[in-house]
Structure 1
Amino acid sequence: MGDERIREIPAPAVAPDRSAGRRAWAPGPVHRWLLTRADAFWALVTGRPVSLYATAVLRIGYGLLYLVFLLREFPHRDEIWGPDSPWTPALAAQLFDQTGWYSFLILSDSRVYFELCYALALVTSTLFMMGWRTRATSVLFAAVVASFHARAIFMTDGGDNLVLLMALYLVLTACGRRWSLDARRERIRAARADGAPRRAGGRAAQQLREARRTLATVVHNCGVFVIAAQVCFLYGSAGLYKVQGSFWDDGTALHYVLNLDLFRPWPELSHVVDQYPLVLAVVGYLTVLTQVAFPFVLFGRLKYPVLAALLGMHLAIAVVLGLPLFSATMIIADAVFLPDRFYLFLAHLLRRAARRDDLPAPAPGRVSGLATVPRPADGRRDPAPSSPKVPEQVAEQGRE
């Protein structure tokens, strides 16, 4: 063989690896913090319904408050909302054309129709307070409050404005899951179905139920957040408006309020309170400070003394200034900021007090509230019974 030159085949050109010198991207501390907060917020919104007991308190409170309000104004119902009111249905209809409001009270001038509407309002307030078919009665209650508010919009003291807003917000919440007839019916149904075989639906049906449950949870939580934001905005704006006033700046605002005939249901009481100008100035400054600071203390334990101060302020407004509807409306609205464990603890104390006052003393040798096992007829000794559950444990297990 001759000398054959082996030609080297050149290697194919390879594109330079530009990513070799580039560092892998990793989220920074700020980005990780934002992702963590976003995940926590999403879990809070979609995980489980929040403040179920608080919304139940709002349902009971506003239902009872509006029922008492309608019963109190029952002798004057025709002068306020009826066909013989100075603010006639024709004038109300003209105002509705301008403002966009609506009321089913102006659909007819018949007195019979008005009395039926008033009876419907009383029944609706009662059913909403008791939590019967809450999904439907909450919508009907909101329609009743909106209609009565719009019919006599110039004959109110400002408290029913917040009642209207809360009635609309409570439609979004699951306010009937606790302390209601609906909750009692669900407990009875669950007790009857305990141990019974459940029908296993398909995967699509299960996903549909899960999506429905998640949607209801999201809507409920958003409704609770809107209620809390509304109350914060109300207190914050009220405090900032007071700061701008010169009378609140020099501490004489309450003095002038106590000398207005419109806010003197008991002139002697107003006169006695007005004799302490230093106390009135301190109370005025404390009111402004509490209202302005309220939105900033909700995420700590400082909110409890602030809520107690607001409770005292509203009670004083109800008694001294003669605004019970407004004060009760605000007190009920403040209940949304108390956690569910507070209401559970309060219910536990009430149950213990009722059990201590109502139940008779246990007989010697017996345990109160526990059934005794009869001795067998053949004279044999009973087997050792298992340790019974005390009533507190039974109540704790039955608690939702």
Structure 2
Amino acid sequence: MNDRPPSPLAVANRITSNALGPYQTATLRIGIAATFLLLLLREWPNRHELYGPDGAFHHDLAKARVEATDSFTILVWSDNPLWFELGYLFAIAASVAMVLGWRVRAVAVLFMLAVLSVHNRNPVVGDGGNNLIHLMSIYLVASRCNQVWALDARRRDRNVDGADVTGVVLWCVLGLVLASVTLLGHLGTVWMVILWILWLIYVPWWWAQRRGQGELRTVLAMSGNLVHNGALLVIMMQMCLLYATAGWYKVQGTRWQDGTAVYYPLQVDAFNPWPALSGLLASHAVLILALTYGTVLLQVAFPFTLINRRVKNVVLVLLIAEHLGIAILLGLPFFSLAVIAGDLVFAPTMALRRVERAVMSALPGRSRHTAVPRFSHQEAAAPVASVVARTGSDLRTGH
């Protein structure tokens, strides 16, 4: 058995010829967009107080902050209540399109702008889950998260990309909107440059596809794969950094050191949706001790478990169970859903495909066969975590 690591040329060929982790990035896309959508729907009755004209963070204050930090939000372009309603509905529509995987190349940018618009309108009402959604929405712009579980994948499998009139119309409409916003002076220099680059970058893709330029298409495909794989690596590093910093900061706290930290949030009314359940848990000192030390151990150890896929999978299940417990016991469902969506980037591909087959078989009138994106069977079976943990034999075997 040859356990020698692959050559640099083989590694370079792998990361430029394939967009790795199609199921993992699709899971992240659906999870992050669905979490943001549920958050928007949950806060619909309170939207004016949280993000609109009736909040303590009034329009002039929000506009001054945006100008001082050069951040982005369309909700300060006008103080008209109708503009706020349209902006909020835009965020909902972008989230729905992102979940469905419709025109993700364009919608991912719109989703990012929607997330930034809502969060930057009133940044003081967010939590760690909002911050993670904020970051992931940016990373998803650079990823090919529509290879599976998306309307884009369905359209690609039907080979209708050759006459993509809808895509051209959408590109032209977005260009007109961007030109209008630019002329009205709503965009700062940085955001103006970023958005125009993102809009113009699709021209060579369309040209290469329509004219059939073989070399240009190859170069663009390799560049797209490289950007996608770089974004996937950044996403995984972000999750490792999240757990590492959370764990090591907990280690420094006296309540985490003496094993009582989990007890105190259970006594806070704001984080106590089920008083009877919280009281029952808080009455067991040994269980509180185990949960406190176990939380620290899992978070500190997680980045190191990527070295071994079996250990990583066990720890991943425990971390997901931990955040499900946080969602139920502390009443923080959106925080937990956002983190779980990030966790699933490390999920084994075969496990995600089993879920896919189970869902497809449960749907009436659906075939169990699902089209697989254009990558090899070995890549489909390889765990994404192995890209970070090791580039040797794990990349050549499916688990």
Which of the five TM-score ranges fits, normalised by the shorter chain?
A: 0.7 to 0.9
More helix by share: 2
- SS of the residue corresponding to residue 285 of structure 1 reads helix
CA contact (8 A) 1:128 1:138 kept: yes
Structural mapping, 1:290-329, within 5 Å: 290-299=298-307, 300-329=309-338
Over aligned residues, Cα RMSD in angstroms?
2.5
**Alignment partners' CA distance in 2, 1:349 and 1:119:** 33
Structural mapping, 1:351-366, within 5 Å: 351-354=360-363, 358=364
Paired amino acid for 1:68: L
**Alignment partners' CA distance in 2, 1:277 and 1:312:** 20
Q: CA deviation at 1:217?
A: 0.3
- SS of the residue corresponding to residue 174 of structure 1 reads coil
CA contact (8 A) 1:255 1:274 kept: yes
Match of 1:134 in 2: 104
CA contact (8 A) 2:155 2:161 kept: no
CA contact (8 A) 1:63 1:128 kept: yes
Paired amino acid for 1:164: H
Q: CA deviation at 1:309?
A: 0.5
What is the CA deviation profile of residues 354-400 of structure 1, one whole-angstrom value per residue up to 9, with x for unaligned ones? 4xxx57xxxxxxxxx9xxxxxxxxxxxxxxxxxxxxx76xx27x444
Q: 1:183 aligns with which of 153, 171, 180?
A: 153
Q: 1:174 aligns with which of 136, 140, 144?
A: 144
Q: Does 1:262 align with 2:270?
A: yes
Match of 1:205 in 2: 213
Q: Does 1:45 align with 2:53?
A: no
**Alignment partners' CA distance in 1, 2:221 and 2:161:** 21
Paired amino acid for 2:72: Y
What is the CA deviation profile of residues 222-261 of structure 1, one whole-angstrom value per residue up to 9, with x for unaligned ones? 1110000000000011000011111111101111222223
What is the CA deviation profile of residues 193-234 of structure 1, one whole-angstrom value per residue up to 9, with x for unaligned ones? 9xxxxxx99x99211110000001001101110000000000
Match of 2:173 in 1: none
Where structure 2 has 5 or more consecutive residues not aligned to the other structure, the ranges are 164-207, 374-399
What is the CA deviation profile of residues 298-324 of structure 1, one whole-angstrom value per residue up to 9, with x for unaligned ones? 132111110110011001101111111
CA contact (8 A) 1:131 1:176 kept: yes
- SS of the residue corresponding to residue 136 of structure 1 reads helix
TM-score under structure 2 length normalisation: 0.76
CA contact (8 A) 2:37 2:96 kept: yes
**Alignment partners' CA distance in 2, 1:240 and 1:61:** 27
**Alignment partners' CA distance in 2, 1:224 and 1:107:** 33
Aligned-residue sequence identity (percent) comes to 40
Match of 1:275 in 2: 283
Q: 2:46 aligns with which of 76, 96, 107?
A: 76
What number of residue pairs does the alignment pair up? 325
Where structure 1 has 5 or more consecutive residues not aligned to the other structure, the ranges are 1-32, 194-199, 360-368, 370-390
Structural mapping, 1:232-247, within 5 Å: 232-247=240-255
Match of 2:355 in 1: 346
CA contact (8 A) 2:323 2:336 kept: yes
**Alignment partners' CA distance in 1, 2:324 and 2:131:** 19
What is the CA deviation profile of residues 7-56 of structure 1, one whole-angstrom value per residue up to 9, with x for unaligned ones? xxxxxxxxxxxxxxxxxxxxxxxxxx89x553343233213110111111
Paired amino acid for 1:351: M
**Alignment partners' CA distance in 1, 2:290 and 2:14:** 40
CA contact (8 A) 1:127 1:137 kept: yes
**Alignment partners' CA distance in 1, 2:158 and 2:265:** 54
CA contact (8 A) 1:51 1:339 kept: no
Q: 1:162 aligns with which of 132, 139, 158?
A: 132
- SS of the residue corresponding to residue 154 of structure 1 reads helix
CA contact (8 A) 1:248 1:284 kept: yes
Q: CA deviation at 1:64?
A: 1.5
CA contact (8 A) 2:148 2:372 kept: no
Match of 1:87 in 2: 57
- SS of the residue corresponding to residue 302 of structure 1 reads helix
Q: Does 1:59 align with 2:68?
A: no
Going from structure 1 to structure 2, the CA distance change for 1:273 and 1:89 (only over 3 Å counts) comes to same
CA contact (8 A) 2:72 2:113 kept: no
Larger CA deviation: 136-145 vs 172-181: 172-181
Q: Does 1:220 align with 2:231?
A: no
CA contact (8 A) 1:235 1:292 kept: yes
Q: Does 1:148 align with 2:157?
A: no
Paired amino acid for 2:326: I
Match of 1:230 in 2: 238
CA contact (8 A) 2:94 2:107 kept: yes
**Alignment partners' CA distance in 2, 1:189 and 1:210:** 19
CA contact (8 A) 1:58 1:332 kept: yes
